[in-house]
Structure 1
Amino acid sequence: MNYRIGIDVGGTHTDAVLLDSEYKVLAKTKSSTTQDVSSGIYAAMREVIEQAGVPREQITYAMLGTTHCTNAIVERKRLNETAYIRIGAPASLAIKPLVGVPDDLKALLGKRVYIVRGGHEFDGREIVKLDEEELYRIANEIKGNVDSVAVAAVFSPVAKDHELRAGEILREVLGDEVPISLSYEIGSVGLLERENATILNASIVTVAKTTAYGFIDALKAEGVNAKVFFGQNDGTLMSIEYAIKYPILTIGCGPTNSIRGASYLSGLANALVVDVGGTTTDIGVLVNSFPRESSLAVEIGGARTNFRMPDLISIGLGGGTIVRINDDGQFTVGPDSVGYQLPQKGLAFGGDTLTTTDVVIALGKVNLGDPQKVAHLDKGLLEKIYSRIVEMAEEAIDKMKTSAEPVPVILVGGGSILFPDALKGASQLIRPENFGVANAIGAAIAQISGQIDRVFSLDETGREQTLETAKRMAIDEAIAAGAEPETVEIVEFEDIPLSYLGNATRIRVKAAGTLAAPVEV
């Protein structure tokens, strides 16, 4: 028998599950997310291993959905010393790099920024020859002074030659131990957003590496020699090596783990998922069992980027959300929360702060804490507050729907106890078994994927050949990330002709497959 551990780190709780080879939940736990994140992960991991009581040597996989990389960018801590090279002179000199990045982040990431001659036109023609001599000069200048390097060339999603050559020169001078992030592998068309995403990716490589090897060491300390995977923000997994190369893809993996877990637990492939934590409610869309992707540029830590992210609405409503009542009977719900301190600060638990959880306890909707401690509250006012809580969720659901028709809604997350058994806009409301740890289950059962999002010129090989090439690239990516080759299939395909770029098309392909079986040592 093979077992697997799934762990997901939220803003309030770190959830963990241990599943058998049939994906049956043998143990689950929900512990407070710690300030350093790691110690909370290790505590949750130890708890589920002890609860399950299974032979440690039979735990073959461990999946982690973590906020380490997000926190590093948001908090401006533990970021790499990074050099950035834009290949785009003279065409792109009018706008300097790091546009749309907050000043404090720019001060950290913009210490070594270079623009060299090179780049391509939208149709793949070379603007000017790549200035290799200048690249060698820059490489020697930064040698010993940086931890990682980011490179972005004008229209590299169409023609990646200059980025690839720059990578070769940098590796020749800096060696293989300095990671190099190339923008064509990370973002899509749109130089300014793509270079921001690439610089951020380069800045968090060490955070990802430290997290990964710390998790492996913690497992080994428990006698578990499992193969470790990271959750990525399309609802699938990636290997340690892949995660260290593309750590930015871990950003936003928490809600997508919940969406995938909700799909598995409910058996639905198409629905809205409402994931209610202690601090926020995230609402996403399931399309063919995977999260719908956002088509808009997204901000990470205030920096505008264009790498893939799930399409979500987040509202400041969770189990620990603070409710304030004025002297004249007016009230506000959130957006701030007591978070993981709910068992200490909530009124029904002996604290001094009125929260949404206290409201549902006082109204007799859930059996938690001590109802006597909230019995003095005005029931009429509490009903109004509860109506507002429900209304907030219904408004968010309405924003995520693409038509006026009611749709199935799956409620997951520990905070989903706030809501009744029916919501406006929901054709059916499903609260599946183990809903409280859907995120950790989503991490544990996830497939491995590969995805490409590139602009192709159709002049060279023709339309059919180009589409087949794109699909093959996505399949190869999935296999490289750790998928069993025979199980990989195309799960998403989008082909958008770009008439303003001549005979070009933007192709998005995602391939996914099951985890390759662990190799016996």
Structure 2
Amino acid sequence: MSYRLGIDVGGTNTDVVLLDRENAVIAKTKTAVTADIVSGIRAGVGTVLQQSGVEGADITHAMLGTTQVTNAIIERRELNDVAIVRLGAPATRAVKPLAGWPEDLRERYAQYSWIVGGGHEFDGREIAPLDEAELATIAQAVKGKVQAVAITGVFSPVNTDHEERAARIFREILGEDIPISLSYQLGSVGLLERENATVLNAAVSNVAKRATLSFQQALADLDVHAALYLAQNDGTLMSVEYALLYPILTIACGPTNSMRGAAYLTGLKNAIVVDVGGTSTDVGVLVNGFPRESFVAVDVGGVRTNFRMPDLYSIGLGGGSRVTEVDGKVEVGPKSVGYRIVQEGRAFGGDTTTFTDVVVSLGKAKVGTHAVHLPEEVANRAYEVAIDKTAEAIDRMKTSAEATPLILVGGGSVLLPSQFEGVSEVYRPENYDVANAIGAAIAQVSGRVDRIFAMDQKSREEVLAEAKSIAIAEAIRAGAEASTIEVVEIEEIPIAYLPGNAVRIKVTVAGTLASYSQEQKVGAHASH
């Protein structure tokens, strides 16, 4: 018998689930997040192994969703020094790299920033020859001074030659071990936002490496030697090796894990998902079983990017949100006691009033170890404020006035009611509290392409086939079994302002884990 682990390291809790081959939950637990990551994961995995009686050696796959990369950018900690190279002179000198960045980050990274001759037109023709001599000079200048390199070429998603050649020059001089991020592998066609995403990806490569090594160490300590995967922010997985190349893709994977878990637990493919944690609530939308993607540029730690991100609306409301009264006005959040609710919340014997205490006081849920008695008027007003916030967030995410199914997940979702205006039915499925870890454990592996194609010399069918093949190759590189890959989404956007009958094509594909598929085949043969 083989088993899978799903692990989600959030802001307050580490959630762990153990699933069997049929994806049934065998055991689950929540433990407090620890500063070193290792001990929290080890404690959670140790608990589910003890609960289930399963041996560590019987676990074949382990999937991790983590906020470590997101937190590093937001908190400005453990970031690499990065050599930033734009291949676009003389065409792009008007706007320098890091334009629009927060001042603290811009001051740090501006010292190692260059614009070098090179880049392409939208149809792949060179704007200017690649200045290889200047690239070699830059590489020598930054040797021993930076921990990563970010290379961005004009229209590199159309023609990758200059970025690939620049990377080879840096590798020859800086060695094989330095992380080099290439923009065509990360962002969409917009130059500045794609460049920003590439620089951030390079900046967090060591953070991702530390998180991955911690993940491996925690499991090895428990004799778990499984195939390891990390969750990415479209609700799918990627191999550890792939994640170390593109750590930026783990940003916002927590809410997307919860959404995939919600879809799996309810069987619903189209619904609104409300994920309530200790500090915040994330609202997203399922479309055909996957999180709806944001169609606007997204800020990450104050930096505008254009790599794929889920369409989410977050509010500062959770189980640990503080309830305050100022000048007769009751507020719930955004300040929160977070994971300290089990020490500070009234329902657990503390003296801080939280949203959980309001719900317990009103008799709407049974949580904690102590009875809570708040003034009824204050409790009612606080509850109304919290529910109004949630209802507004749900309404913001709807694209029509029609009543839509709603799925409540996350440990704090027990605090919310079973009815909302504009909602056809509210689902709170079994194991809702660990939907994030379940979403990680059952996820598939994806690949995608987002490029501009010229159709003046090719048919639409040829261009679509080319785009699909690129996305499929990417999915295989991320760890998918080729025979299981299916097209999830195709989008065509004609671009009228470019010559050559240009069209922007987005293709997303997904398939099962390669190692898991092989294991299923072996199991099937053995059963015969």
Residues of 1 paired with 2:212 and 2:461: CA distance? 40
Equivalent position of 2:486 in the other structure: 489
Describe the SS at the equivalent of 1:77: coil
Equivalent position of 1:448 in the other structure: 445
Describe the SS at the equivalent of 1:145: coil
After TM superposition, the structure 1 = structure 2 runs for residues 463-478 of structure 1, keeping only pairs within 5 Å, are: 463-478=460-475
Aligned amino acid, residue 88 of structure 1: G
Aligned amino acid, residue 498 of structure 1: I
Deviations 1:252-294 (A, max 9, x none): 1000000000000000011000000011110000001100000
After TM superposition, the structure 1 = structure 2 runs for residues 237-386 of structure 1, keeping only pairs within 5 Å, are: 237-326=237-326, 329-370=328-369, 372=371, 374-375=372-373, 377-386=374-383
Deviations 1:11-37 (A, max 9, x none): 121111011111011110111222344
Equivalent position of 1:391 in the other structure: 388
Aligned amino acid, residue 454 of structure 1: R
Residues of 2 paired with 1:433 and 1:400: CA distance? 25
After TM superposition, the structure 1 = structure 2 runs for residues 136-215 of structure 1, keeping only pairs within 5 Å, are: 136-215=136-215
Aligned amino acid, residue 170 of structure 1: F
Equivalent position of 1:217 in the other structure: 217
Conservation of the 8 A alpha-carbon contact between 1:109 and 1:199? no
Choose from 434, 439, 444 the match for 1:437: 434
Conservation of the 8 A alpha-carbon contact between 1:80 and 1:204? yes
Aligned amino acid, residue 412 of structure 2: G
| RMSD, aligned CA | 1.4
Aligned amino acid, residue 435 of structure 1: Y
Deviations 1:307-359 (A, max 9, x none): 11000000011100111124x54211111111001111111222111111000
Aligned amino acid, residue 114 of structure 1: W
Aligned amino acid, residue 111 of structure 1: Q
Residues of 1 paired with 2:35 and 2:334: CA distance? 20
> How many residues are aligned here?
517
Aligned amino acid, residue 159 of structure 2: A
Describe the SS at the equivalent of 1:501: coil
Deviations 1:214-240 (A, max 9, x none): 211221111111111000000000001
Residues of 1 paired with 2:513 and 2:465: CA distance? 24
- Report the CA distance between 1:370 and its aligned residue: 4.7
Aligned amino acid, residue 449 of structure 1: S
Describe the SS at the equivalent of 1:417: helix
What fraction of aligned residue pairs are identical, expressed as a percent?
60
Residues of 1 paired with 2:65 and 2:511: CA distance? 19
Conservation of the 8 A alpha-carbon contact between 2:81 and 2:145? yes
Residues of 2 paired with 1:347 and 1:262: CA distance? 30
Residues of 1 paired with 2:106 and 2:362: CA distance? 49
1:84 and 2:84 are equivalent in the alignment: yes
Aligned amino acid, residue 468 of structure 1: A
Describe the SS at the equivalent of 1:124: coil
Equivalent position of 2:51 in the other structure: 51
- Report the CA distance between 1:125 and its aligned residue: 2.2
Describe the SS at the equivalent of 1:278: coil
Conservation of the 8 A alpha-carbon contact between 1:158 and 1:457? no
Conservation of the 8 A alpha-carbon contact between 1:361 and 1:371? no
Conservation of the 8 A alpha-carbon contact between 1:278 and 1:337? yes
Conservation of the 8 A alpha-carbon contact between 1:69 and 1:251? yes
Aligned amino acid, residue 450 of structure 2: D
**TM-score (norm: length of structure 2):** 0.95
Conservation of the 8 A alpha-carbon contact between 1:362 and 1:371? no
Residues of 1 paired with 2:385 and 2:114: CA distance? 52
Residues of 2 paired with 1:265 and 1:330: CA distance? 39
Conservation of the 8 A alpha-carbon contact between 2:232 and 2:250? yes
- Report the CA distance between 1:460 and its aligned residue: 4.1
Aligned amino acid, residue 507 of structure 2: V
Equivalent position of 2:513 in the other structure: 515
Describe the SS at the equivalent of 2:149: strand
Aligned amino acid, residue 330 of structure 1: K
Conservation of the 8 A alpha-carbon contact between 1:488 and 1:513? yes
Describe the SS at the equivalent of 1:121: coil
Describe the SS at the equivalent of 2:342: helix
Residues of 1 paired with 2:454 and 2:112: CA distance? 33
Describe the SS at the equivalent of 2:393: helix
**TM-score (norm: length of structure 1):** 0.97
- Report the CA distance between 1:111 and its aligned residue: 2.6
Equivalent position of 1:105 in the other structure: 105
1:426 and 2:423 are equivalent in the alignment: yes
Residues of 1 paired with 2:369 and 2:444: CA distance? 42
Residues of 2 paired with 1:501 and 1:164: CA distance? 25
Conservation of the 8 A alpha-carbon contact between 1:394 and 1:423? yes
Equivalent position of 1:402 in the other structure: 399
Residues of 1 paired with 2:384 and 2:95: CA distance? 50
Deviations 1:452-510 (A, max 9, x none): 11112223433221110000111111111111111011111111111112221111111
Aligned amino acid, residue 361 of structure 1: V
Q: 1:100 to 1:36 in 2, by over 3 A?
A: farther
Residues of 2 paired with 1:385 and 1:226: CA distance? 46
Aligned amino acid, residue 512 of structure 1: A
